[in-house]
Structure 1
Protein backbone atom coordinates (compact mmCIF):
# COMPACT_ATOMS: atom_id res chain seq x y z
CA UNK A 1 0.00 0.00 0.00
CA UNK A 2 1.16 3.53 -0.76
CA UNK A 3 -0.27 6.97 -0.07
CA UNK A 4 0.14 9.70 -2.63
CA UNK A 5 0.41 13.18 -1.19
CA UNK A 6 -0.21 15.98 -3.66
CA UNK A 7 0.61 19.50 -2.45
CA UNK A 8 -0.58 22.47 -4.50
CA UNK A 9 0.67 25.98 -3.75
CA UNK A 10 -1.94 28.29 -5.18
CA UNK A 11 -1.61 31.82 -6.42
CA UNK A 12 -2.53 34.37 -3.72
CA UNK A 13 -6.27 34.84 -3.44
CA UNK A 14 -7.08 31.69 -5.46
CA UNK A 15 -7.47 29.10 -2.68
CA UNK A 16 -11.26 29.41 -2.42
CA UNK A 17 -11.78 29.19 -6.18
CA UNK A 18 -9.49 26.15 -6.43
CA UNK A 19 -11.17 24.26 -3.57
CA UNK A 20 -14.65 25.04 -4.93
CA UNK A 21 -13.74 23.91 -8.45
CA UNK A 22 -12.16 20.73 -7.12
CA UNK A 23 -15.16 19.86 -4.95
CA UNK A 24 -17.64 20.44 -7.77
CA UNK A 25 -15.70 19.17 -10.79
CA UNK A 26 -12.47 17.36 -9.92
CA UNK A 27 -13.28 15.23 -6.89
CA UNK A 28 -16.22 13.34 -8.43
CA UNK A 29 -14.02 12.24 -11.33
CA UNK A 30 -11.17 11.22 -9.07
CA UNK A 31 -13.43 9.27 -6.70
CA UNK A 32 -14.63 7.31 -9.73
CA UNK A 33 -11.18 6.66 -11.21
CA UNK A 34 -8.52 6.72 -8.49
CA UNK A 35 -7.81 4.72 -5.37
CA UNK A 36 -9.23 5.40 -1.94
CA UNK A 37 -9.66 9.09 -1.08
CA UNK A 38 -8.10 9.72 2.34
CA UNK A 39 -8.42 13.47 2.74
CA UNK A 40 -8.15 17.01 1.46
CA UNK A 41 -6.58 19.76 3.57
CA UNK A 42 -5.78 23.46 3.48
CA UNK A 43 -3.01 25.17 5.44
CA UNK A 44 -3.79 27.40 8.42
CA UNK A 45 -0.29 28.04 9.82
CA UNK A 46 3.05 28.18 8.04
CA UNK A 47 3.18 28.74 4.31
CA UNK A 48 -0.37 29.61 3.30
CA UNK A 49 -2.27 29.04 0.05
CA UNK A 50 -1.62 25.27 0.06
CA UNK A 51 -3.99 22.41 -0.57
CA UNK A 52 -2.90 18.85 0.22
CA UNK A 53 -4.68 15.73 -1.05
CA UNK A 54 -4.07 12.15 0.09
CA UNK A 55 -4.97 9.07 -1.96
CA UNK A 56 -4.36 5.40 -1.13
CA UNK A 57 -3.31 2.85 -3.76
CA UNK A 58 -2.58 -0.85 -3.45
CA UNK A 59 0.77 -0.45 -5.25
CA UNK A 60 2.83 1.85 -7.44
CA UNK A 61 1.57 -0.04 -10.50
CA UNK A 62 -2.04 0.43 -9.35
CA UNK A 63 -1.40 4.17 -9.06
CA UNK A 64 0.14 4.36 -12.53
CA UNK A 65 -2.76 2.51 -14.16
CA UNK A 66 -5.41 4.60 -12.41
CA UNK A 67 -3.72 7.93 -13.10
CA UNK A 68 -3.12 7.02 -16.76
CA UNK A 69 -6.83 6.23 -17.11
CA UNK A 70 -7.75 9.53 -15.44
CA UNK A 71 -5.37 11.58 -17.60
CA UNK A 72 -6.98 10.07 -20.73
CA UNK A 73 -10.48 11.02 -19.56
CA UNK A 74 -11.80 14.15 -21.34
CA UNK A 75 -13.72 15.17 -18.21
CA UNK A 76 -10.44 15.36 -16.28
CA UNK A 77 -8.83 17.40 -19.05
CA UNK A 78 -11.77 19.84 -18.91
CA UNK A 79 -11.32 20.13 -15.14
CA UNK A 80 -7.60 20.85 -15.55
CA UNK A 81 -8.47 23.66 -17.96
CA UNK A 82 -10.57 25.23 -15.15
CA UNK A 83 -7.81 25.23 -12.52
CA UNK A 84 -4.43 25.36 -14.27
CA UNK A 85 -4.16 29.15 -13.97
CA UNK A 86 -4.86 28.99 -10.21
CA UNK A 87 -1.85 26.79 -9.37
CA UNK A 88 1.62 28.20 -8.76
CA UNK A 89 3.59 25.03 -7.82
CA UNK A 90 2.69 21.36 -7.40
CA UNK A 91 4.65 18.69 -5.53
CA UNK A 92 3.87 14.99 -5.31
CA UNK A 93 5.22 12.44 -2.84
CA UNK A 94 4.59 8.72 -2.55
CA UNK A 95 4.55 7.56 1.06
CA UNK A 96 4.91 4.03 2.42
CA UNK A 97 3.48 3.40 5.89
CA UNK A 98 5.67 2.04 8.64
CA UNK A 99 4.78 -1.24 10.32
CA UNK A 100 3.11 0.65 13.18
CA UNK A 101 1.26 3.29 11.15
CA UNK A 102 -2.50 3.43 11.79
CA UNK A 103 -2.98 3.88 8.05
CA UNK A 104 -2.02 0.62 6.30
Structure 2
Protein backbone atom coordinates (compact mmCIF):
# COMPACT_ATOMS: atom_id res chain seq x y z
CA UNK A 1 0.00 0.00 0.00
CA UNK A 2 1.01 3.60 -0.62
CA UNK A 3 -0.59 6.81 0.58
CA UNK A 4 -1.00 9.99 -1.47
CA UNK A 5 -0.94 13.01 0.85
CA UNK A 6 -2.21 16.15 -0.88
CA UNK A 7 -1.94 19.66 0.58
CA UNK A 8 -3.59 22.68 -1.03
CA UNK A 9 -3.11 26.25 0.20
CA UNK A 10 -5.88 28.76 -0.42
CA UNK A 11 -5.85 32.53 -0.36
CA UNK A 12 -6.86 33.89 3.06
CA UNK A 13 -10.63 33.89 3.64
CA UNK A 14 -11.31 31.91 0.46
CA UNK A 15 -10.90 28.32 1.61
CA UNK A 16 -14.66 27.84 1.96
CA UNK A 17 -15.10 28.64 -1.75
CA UNK A 18 -12.59 25.96 -2.72
CA UNK A 19 -14.10 23.39 -0.33
CA UNK A 20 -17.59 24.04 -1.75
CA UNK A 21 -16.41 23.68 -5.36
CA UNK A 22 -14.53 20.51 -4.47
CA UNK A 23 -17.50 19.02 -2.61
CA UNK A 24 -19.87 19.71 -5.51
CA UNK A 25 -17.67 18.92 -8.51
CA UNK A 26 -14.63 16.84 -7.52
CA UNK A 27 -15.64 14.75 -4.50
CA UNK A 28 -18.16 12.58 -6.41
CA UNK A 29 -15.58 11.89 -9.11
CA UNK A 30 -12.74 11.14 -6.74
CA UNK A 31 -14.92 8.76 -4.72
CA UNK A 32 -15.85 7.01 -7.98
CA UNK A 33 -12.35 6.70 -9.43
CA UNK A 34 -9.88 6.87 -6.55
CA UNK A 35 -11.75 4.82 -4.01
CA UNK A 36 -10.10 4.81 -0.61
CA UNK A 37 -10.06 8.27 0.92
CA UNK A 38 -8.41 8.06 4.34
CA UNK A 39 -9.27 11.63 5.26
CA UNK A 40 -10.25 15.08 4.00
CA UNK A 41 -9.42 17.94 6.35
CA UNK A 42 -8.96 21.68 6.70
CA UNK A 43 -6.42 23.20 9.06
CA UNK A 44 -7.52 24.62 12.39
CA UNK A 45 -4.11 25.46 13.87
CA UNK A 46 -0.66 25.84 12.41
CA UNK A 47 -0.34 27.07 8.84
CA UNK A 48 -3.89 28.15 7.98
CA UNK A 49 -5.93 28.12 4.77
CA UNK A 50 -4.82 24.57 4.02
CA UNK A 51 -6.84 21.65 2.73
CA UNK A 52 -5.35 18.20 3.27
CA UNK A 53 -6.62 14.96 1.83
CA UNK A 54 -5.16 11.48 1.99
CA UNK A 55 -5.79 8.58 -0.40
CA UNK A 56 -4.69 4.93 -0.17
CA UNK A 57 -3.67 2.83 -3.16
CA UNK A 58 -2.47 -0.73 -3.54
CA UNK A 59 0.63 0.49 -5.40
CA UNK A 60 1.96 3.34 -7.51
CA UNK A 61 0.63 1.52 -10.58
CA UNK A 62 -2.82 1.36 -8.98
CA UNK A 63 -2.65 5.10 -8.24
CA UNK A 64 -1.61 5.94 -11.79
CA UNK A 65 -4.34 3.76 -13.33
CA UNK A 66 -7.05 5.29 -11.14
CA UNK A 67 -5.91 8.87 -11.69
CA UNK A 68 -5.58 8.27 -15.45
CA UNK A 69 -9.15 6.96 -15.61
CA UNK A 70 -10.39 10.00 -13.68
CA UNK A 71 -8.47 12.38 -15.96
CA UNK A 72 -10.32 10.94 -18.97
CA UNK A 73 -13.71 11.83 -17.49
CA UNK A 74 -14.91 15.14 -19.03
CA UNK A 75 -16.42 16.11 -15.67
CA UNK A 76 -12.90 16.10 -14.17
CA UNK A 77 -11.77 18.54 -16.85
CA UNK A 78 -14.77 20.74 -16.00
CA UNK A 79 -13.78 20.71 -12.34
CA UNK A 80 -10.17 21.64 -13.14
CA UNK A 81 -11.36 24.52 -15.31
CA UNK A 82 -13.69 25.81 -12.58
CA UNK A 83 -10.94 25.53 -9.97
CA UNK A 84 -8.57 27.51 -12.19
CA UNK A 85 -11.23 30.16 -12.83
CA UNK A 86 -11.94 30.43 -9.11
CA UNK A 87 -8.29 31.32 -8.61
CA UNK A 88 -8.10 30.60 -4.87
CA UNK A 89 -5.23 28.13 -4.79
CA UNK A 90 -1.77 29.53 -4.13
CA UNK A 91 0.13 26.25 -3.69
CA UNK A 92 -0.42 22.54 -4.27
CA UNK A 93 1.74 19.72 -2.93
CA UNK A 94 1.51 15.99 -2.93
CA UNK A 95 3.64 13.35 -1.30
CA UNK A 96 3.64 9.62 -1.90
CA UNK A 97 4.22 7.75 1.36
CA UNK A 98 4.88 4.08 2.04
CA UNK A 99 4.29 2.45 5.43
CA UNK A 100 7.21 1.18 7.50
CA UNK A 101 7.54 -2.54 8.19
CA UNK A 102 6.55 -2.14 11.85
CA UNK A 103 3.41 -0.22 10.89
CA UNK A 104 2.42 -2.90 8.39
CA UNK A 105 2.88 -5.48 11.19
CA UNK A 106 0.70 -3.32 13.46
CA UNK A 107 -2.02 -3.17 10.79
CA UNK A 108 -1.90 -6.96 10.45
CA UNK A 109 -2.24 -7.30 14.25
CA UNK A 110 -5.27 -4.98 14.21
CA UNK A 111 -6.94 -7.06 11.51
CA UNK A 112 -6.52 -10.20 13.62
CA UNK A 113 -7.83 -8.62 16.83
Whether the TM-score (by the shorter chain) exceeds 0.5 is: yes
Partner residue, 2:41: 41
Aligned to 2:94: 92
Q: Any unmatched runs of 5+ in structure 2?
A: 109-113
TM-score, structure 2 length as denominator? 0.85
Q: Is the 8 A contact 1:36 1:56 kept in 2?
A: yes
Aligned length: 104
3-state SS in 1 of match to 2:102? coil
The RMSD of aligned alpha carbons is 1.5
Task: For structure 1, list consecutive stretches of 5 or more residues without a partner in the other structure.
Answer: none
Report the TM-score when normalising by structure 1.
Answer: 0.92
Counterpart for residue 15 of structure 1 = 15
The CA distance in 2 between the partners of 1:86 and 1:55, in whole Å, is 23
Task: Identify, as 1 or 2, the structure richer in helix.
Answer: 2
Deviation above 2 Å: which 4+ runs of structure 1? 99-104
